C-alpha cells in the first residue's frame, strides 16, 4: 500500500512566502474543473472532494455523476458547475456508463480515430450507486479492467431520497428505514429499543413506554439514557440501560436533550 505523507499547517500562515497567493500549495494545479455556482452547503464534504479530485485530474477529464444528492445539487436550473465534460447517469448504471466511456476511447485509440491522450474518466457516486443499487454494474467494470476511476462518497445512507438505509449504513445507524425495535408481545408496557451511545456502542433497552409511544415515533430521536447501570436480565431479554421520562400514569413524556446534542454525550 502506498504511503502518503501528510503535512499539517497552522492557519493563518503569516510567515508563508506564498501569503496572498491564490493557492498555498505551489504544486496545486491552477485549473478549476469544478467551479462555484452549485447548491451544496458551505463545507459540504462531497463538493470539496469533487473540487480536489477534479483539480488533481486536470482539464483532460470526463466526469460521470449518477443520480444522488450531488447530482441534484450540481445540475439545477439546467446549469452545472463543471468546466470539463460531465454526464449524468441513472443510479444503477454508474459502473456500466463509466466503463462504456472508457471502452469507447479504448476502441477509438485502437482504430486510430483518437490521437490525443487518454482522458481521466472519473465517476463520483454516493454509496447507493457505488455499493448498493449500482454494485453489479461496478463489479462488471472491475471485472473487465477498464481504465476508469470510480469514487464512493460515503454518506452511509441514501441522502437524496429521505435518509434511507444503504449497504454502507453502519450497524445500529439511525435512518428512516432502520427498525426501531419490536414490540414485546408478552409485556403490556415494554418496548424493546436498540439505542446508540455514539460510534459503534449499541445497547438494548426495555422501556415501559408501550402505551405512550409507537416504535416508529422513536426512530432517529435523541433521548436521555442511564447507561452505567448493571444489565438487568428479564424474561424477554437483557436490558442494558434505563430511559428517562417525566410524568406519571397516563401522562408520560420522554426527556429529550436540546438541539445540537449528539449520541453518546454525557449528561452533567
Q: Say if 248 falls within a structural domain.
A: yes
239 lies in some domain = yes
2 in a structural domain: no
How far apart CA 105 and CA 35 sit, in angstroms, is 26
C-alpha 220: how far from chain center? 16
> In the chain, what is the straight-line distance between the N-terminal and C-terminal CA atoms, in Å?
44
118 and 71 housed in the same domain: yes
Q: How many helices (H) and strands (E) does the chain have?
A: 5, 12
Asked if residue 252 lies in contact with residue 209, where contact means CB atoms within 8 angstroms, the answer is yes
Please give the Cα distance from 2 to 8 (Å, whole number): 19
Look at residue 1 and tell me if it is in a domain.
no
Residue 111 lies in a domain: yes
76: left (phi over 0), alpha (psi -120 to 50) or beta: beta
Q: pTM of the entire structure?
A: 0.59
In tens digits, what is the pLDDT along the chain, a chain of 268 residues?
565 565 544 444 444 455 444 445 666 677 888 888 788 888 888 888 888 888 888 889 999 999 888 888 888 777 888 999 999 999 999 999 999 999 999 999 999 999 999 999 999 998 888 888 888 999 998 899 899 999 998 888 888 777 888 888 876 677 777 666 666 666 677 888 888 888 788 888 888 888 888 888 888 888 888 888 888 887 778 889 888 888 876 788 888 888 888 888 888 7
Domain shared by 86 and 112, yes or no: yes
In terms of residue numbers, what domain contains 233?
172-268
8 A C-beta contact, residue 166 and residue 156: yes
Amino acid at each position: 500500500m502506498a504511503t502518503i505523507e501528510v503535512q499539517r499547517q497552522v492557519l493563518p500562515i503569516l510567515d508563508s512566502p506564498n501569503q496572498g497567493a491564490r493557492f498555498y500549495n505551489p504544486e496545486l494545479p491552477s485549473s478549476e474543473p469544478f467551479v462555484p455556482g452549485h447548491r451544496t452547503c458551505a463545507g459540504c464534504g462531497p463538493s470539496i472532494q469533487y473540487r480536489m479530485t477534479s483539480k488533481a485530474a486536470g482539464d483532460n477529464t470526463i466526469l460521470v455523476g449518477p443520480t444522488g444528492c450531488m447530482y441534484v445539487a450540481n445540475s439545477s436550473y439546467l446549469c452545472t458547475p463543471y468546466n470539463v465534460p460531465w454526464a449524468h447517469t441513472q443510479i444503477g448504471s454508474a459502473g456500466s456508463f463509466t466503463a462504456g466511456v472508457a471502452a469507447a476511447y479504448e476502441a477509438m485509440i485502437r482504430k486510430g480515430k483518437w490521437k490525443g491522450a487518454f482522458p481521466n474518466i472519473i465517476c463520483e457516486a454516493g454509496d447507493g450507486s457505488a455499493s448498493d443499487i449500482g454494485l453489479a454494474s461496478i463489479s462488471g467494470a472491475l471485472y473487465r479492467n477498464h481504465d476508469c476511476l470510480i469514487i464512493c462518497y460515503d454518506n452511509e445512507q441514501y441522502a437524496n431520497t429521505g435518509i434511507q438505509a444503504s449497504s454502507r449504513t453502519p450497524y445500529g445507524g439511525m435512518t428512516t428505514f432502520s427498525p426501531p425495535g419490536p414490540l414485546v408481545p408478552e409485556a403490556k408496557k415494554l418496548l424493546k429499543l436498540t439505542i446508540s451511545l455514539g460510534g459503534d456502542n449499541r445497547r438494548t433497552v426495555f422501556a415501559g413506554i408501550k402505551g405512550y409511544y409507537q416504535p416508529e415515533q422513536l426512530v432517529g430521536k435523541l433521548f436521555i439514557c442511564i447507561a452505567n447501570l448493571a444489565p438487568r436480565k428479564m424474561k424477554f431479554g437483557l436490558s442494558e440501560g434505563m430511559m428517562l421520562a417525566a410524568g406519571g400514569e397516563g401522562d408520560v413524556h420522554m426527556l429529550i436533550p436540546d438541539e445540537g446534542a449528539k449520541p453518546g454525550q454525557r449528561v452533567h
